[in-house]
Structure 1
């Protein structure tokens, strides 16, 4: 009788590839949002939608569907077919990459399962990860559907849910990959493990706040730093709303919260990095240096994007920095769990 292995390099590298594709998916999704391309495909066809228009008549049919949408009627009236094709390819590429992630995850999962190469403890978690991937497809369409009726953009709430779930999938993929390479995670970790987990969650919250900024185009106002047109609390903070509503719907409030959460992360990073360095462990010192560098870089990129009114290339660099910081926070958490 053969027993399942405790570690598996093939499973590790497979999950690394999946994780890299999820990172690419996040960046393509960011470009899709920032180029206002997300509503160019007005139907959800999980299977047949993988084939793009292949004739002039097919392109015209897709364009006619788009011209019936509020975004075209209220914002893009007069758009040419060539301009439509540009935004269509961004959205089609985003959806196609999602389909490819599904295949790259599912098919090797079946092969590794049949060959008994998957550690037993990872099997239910990999099935759960597969479920999360399927759920993400539904959430993506739920998000797009919000922009097809009475709106010219998708709901910022649904955008934040879609992006947050993408990072949850990335975090789970990272954790399972590290387990596949290094073995089971100890039940009790280093005393700083709670700190690391809290920091990782705070980074995820900041990413969700960034989704609200992107969803409302709130990065294109108050393009000054350190103040917001010279003020700590910007003019129009509540915008006539209750505080709770303003926190998610007022452009000044959304931008301010994203800024101040970044400052909070910077302060906590200093404290956390000092604590990691005091442990004397080489791997934790590497984590400390990585976190310090990435948080500093991310703040610089955020300020640069803000001052430049959020151009596409700077915004994507900022999003890429968020991915790197999120992964580093996850690696640090894992290292502390095994450092007891």
Structure 2
């Protein structure tokens, strides 16, 4: 069975420098560049995972609306004096959240929620620097492997879009009702997951052994590839369902298990019209969907693991690991629900979602056949 994380091989050729731009240069990167870039991307992915967890804590502590403006550059400094804190608090007191939910809050209480939102935003800025500065360094040193420049620039653009999406989400809670739109929250969360997935996938591409026929031969069968792809798609659906649970605070609706209240199917499932709106706007239905997709994910992952072991697929070990993590994640979700969503368990459950996504990507990546860059392919006889 293959290892969860492959190591970079030695099939990296060294060519003369090109006159093209550093990021789009046609010359091959020097030996070791693939691994260096991959490790950097893994590090940034780790920061994004941390950002997801901190974002979850910010939401669970109801801190996300404590900063009522978006200043990407000047907003990097927090209040540094009593007068600055008073001014910041005065801004917050004009918000719907203060007037409807937190009227009478003290400055000290405000500072607690302020620091969570400030930390969330600061971490976002640090991630931007952790990506952009090394990217420039790798480009100037011509250490970006051929074909990866556009992908890395695309990731940089996605990071900028995520910052704008975060503010777009916060804006929805600064008018009338002090609740962010569940649609915008889901978009913000899924974009973060997409960035994380792209970082990890690109790193796995770079770490895959190059020019190693035995490594390329031990690949999963075509049916196993389809099973792995289906699992990853189901994971994405479950993550999105979880985002809607968070956006509607649906985890507080039915804090019982396995029943929802005293029924398997609560009466409130289809209260809204048209019926499809319930899936996105009815807390009871949203929690029900998240439960059902969770059960489906555990069942499918366990079945896939058993099936791959029976077929002696080379990725069977990873499939079993994914099934185990899915089972643990469901158990954690049930515990979070029964405990009425405490901050620690809620944050752990969100981190578990990142772990499930990571293993799902590793499984699919291992299942796919290796692809060599065009400049490294060996000419076929007679060509």
TM-score bucket of the superposed structures, by smaller chain: over 0.9
Matches within 5 A, 1:118-267: 118-182=144-208, 190-191=221-222, 192-267=224-299
Residue 13 (1) aligns with residue 39 (2): yes
Deviation at 1:216, TM superposition (A): 1.2
* TM-score, normalisation: structure 2: 0.85
Structure 1 pair 290–339 and aligned structure 2 pair: CA distance change class (3 A): farther
User: What's 1:58 paired with?
Assistant: 84
Deviation at 1:184, TM superposition (A): 7.4
User: What's 1:47 paired with?
Assistant: 73
SS in structure 1 at match of 2:53: helix
Computing the radius of gyration from Cα coordinates, the structure with the larger value is 2
Q: Which moved more, 1:225-234 or 1:41-50?
A: 225-234
Q: 1:133-160: CA deviations, max 9, x gaps? A: 0100010000000000012111111000
Q: 1:284-331: CA deviations, max 9, x gaps? A: 122022112101101100111111111111111111111100000000
User: What's 1:306 paired with?
Assistant: 337
* TM-score, normalisation: structure 1: 0.95
Instruction: Point out where structure 1 has 5 or more consecutive residues left out of the alignment.
Output: none
Q: 1:196-215: CA deviations, max 9, x gaps? A: 12211221221111111111
Instruction: Point out where structure 2 has 5 or more consecutive residues left out of the alignment.
Output: 1-15, 18-26, 372-383
Aligned residues: 338
SS in structure 2 at match of 1:237: helix
SS in structure 1 at match of 2:263: coil
Partners of 1:242 and 1:184 in 2: CA distance: 54
Q: 1:48-106: CA deviations, max 9, x gaps? A: 11110101111111111111111111111000000100000000000000000000000
Partners of 1:239 and 1:58 in 2: CA distance: 47
Contact 1:190/1:339 (<8 A) preserved: no
Deviation at 1:116, TM superposition (A): 1.3
- What is the RMSD of the two structures over their aligned residues, measured on CA atoms? 1.8
Contact 2:302/2:320 (<8 A) preserved: no
* Counterpart pick for 1:326 among 323, 345, 357: 357
Contact 1:305/1:311 (<8 A) preserved: yes
Q: 1:137-186: CA deviations, max 9, x gaps? A: 01000000000001211111100000000000000000111112226799
Contact 1:221/1:309 (<8 A) preserved: no
Deviating beyond 6 angstroms after TM superposition, the runs of 4 or more aligned structure 1 residues are none
User: What's 1:317 paired with?
Assistant: 348
